[in-house]
Amino acid sequence: MNVCFLFIFVVFSLRSCFAKRVELNWSVEYVYGARDGSNYRRSIGVNGATPIPAVHVMQGDTLVLNVHNKLDVATSLHPHGIYNNGTNYFDGPDMVTECGIPPGESFTYEINTAAQSGTFWIHGHTRHADVDGLRTAFIIHSNKTSVDYDEELVITLEDWFSQEFLVRMEYVDNHKYDNGRISANYATGLFNGYNANRTAPIKFRPGKRYRLRVISMAAYNWSVFRISGHKMTVIEADGVRSMPLEVDGLNLGPGQRNSVIVTALNSTDFNYAFEFISTASTVNFQEDKLPKSYKGVVEYQESAPIKGFPEQSNKEMIWPDDMALQADDRQPWLTVDRTIDLPVTLYSDPLRVTFWSLGKTLYQPTIVPTLYTAMSMGELAFNESVYAPQTNAYVLRHLEVVEFVISNPFINGHTFHMHGHDFQVTEAGPC
């Protein structure tokens, strides 16, 4: 018994020695610039910078974000995809797990990474501050990996609007819609923070294997990414290692992430085009605005000619599919304790302003954060009626296995993100 205890203690001590507290001081503030290359406007950055530099830590590190809010409204930060198991008061959604950081005040987030590695991002979760630039990549590097590659690159894909989010919301408030679709809502695609047609080349060296961590930090638009003449092998989806899946390109909804391995060709005779397409099904299509295609170069040699894409339909290409991707750990199907139906619902007012809802109630924020209610109501916290009716709350038991049946009867695709959890996709098909 003493020997076993000593062994466990030594292993724990060694791991503790390698883990660090990575402390960053973030002043969230307004900055001015033209990230799309043409519209100079106010946006939100950190320490005077936009885009915000990516955050890198090693698995096991604790990321400490000391956040000071210099905005004139409340703000908060959400580490997208992080479990926050036991620390969900650091999760970030205002009026769900916190009140938000008032103007002129500070708050410290501590993000433990012991249980996870992979490709994540950090973004504002109050008053849609992420849409105005409060978002950046968050990479947790694994201490051990079974995937062999020579170099990794982080690629962020964004939609960027010519007006601030709250200004654009006035279009909704004033019913400025066109046949149920938002008017004046065309975004510019950003590639690694800037207009995707003006991005620097991605530089490849012959024969090298590259891990591309591709993150859709878009607020609204879907993102397609592909490289001419190169296959991609998906090895990670949304922070979960996957069995290798070879594809022709990626099709990412807002918030989704994929890591892919791309093997560089052996010749430097040509450079190759890459394409980023930004599109949205709920906005009127307009030539050269939506969908919008952006082109860049994968460069082997600066003066080499560029090979473009062959004529090929989407149906002929292989894209990642939720049912085709398999988690690397190959866990068996969970045994379900309870099923909850969550239909996607569309609400329209007489002037055809549309609102989307998950479940049968249109969500509205509460005046007390939901977590505070759960922590202060004692046994009544298990009674769904103590939560505001507009939250459509479900109370789950500890370690309960819940099956969510999400039915979307509309033509518009939606991504769904569950804070603090991974989940198994067990079935998919037409409604």
Per DSSP, the residues of 244-299 read EEEESEEEE-TT-EEEEEEEPPS--S-EEEEEEEEE-TTS--BTTTBSEEEEEEEE
Structure tokens given for 408: 């979307």
How far are the Cα atoms of 66, 71, 222, 417 from residue 369, in angstroms, in the given order? 21, 21, 31, 20
For 314-366, how does the pLDDT look when each residue is reduced to its tens digit (9 = 90+)? 667 888 887 889 999 989 999 999 999 999 988 776 666 677 888 878 888 89
Structure tokens given for 201: 């080349």
For 271-324, how does the pLDDT look when each residue is reduced to its tens digit (9 = 90+)? 999 999 998 876 666 666 668 899 999 999 999 999 999 887 666 788 888 788
Does residue 103 contact residue 109 with C-beta atoms inside 8 Å? no
For 167-218, how does the pLDDT look when each residue is reduced to its tens digit (9 = 90+)? 887 766 665 555 555 555 688 999 999 999 999 999 999 999 999 999 999 9
Alpha-carbon span 38 to 57, nearest angstrom: 34
Write the CB contacts of 347 (distance below 8 Å, at least 6 apart in sequence). Answer: 354, 355, 356, 357, 362
Q: pTM (2 decimals)?
A: 0.92
In this predicted structure, what is the pLDDT of residue 361?
83
Rg (Cα) of the chain, in Å, rounded? 23
Omega before 332 cis (within 30°)?
A: no
Q: Using the structure block, give the residue that is written with the tokens 């509460």.
A: 366
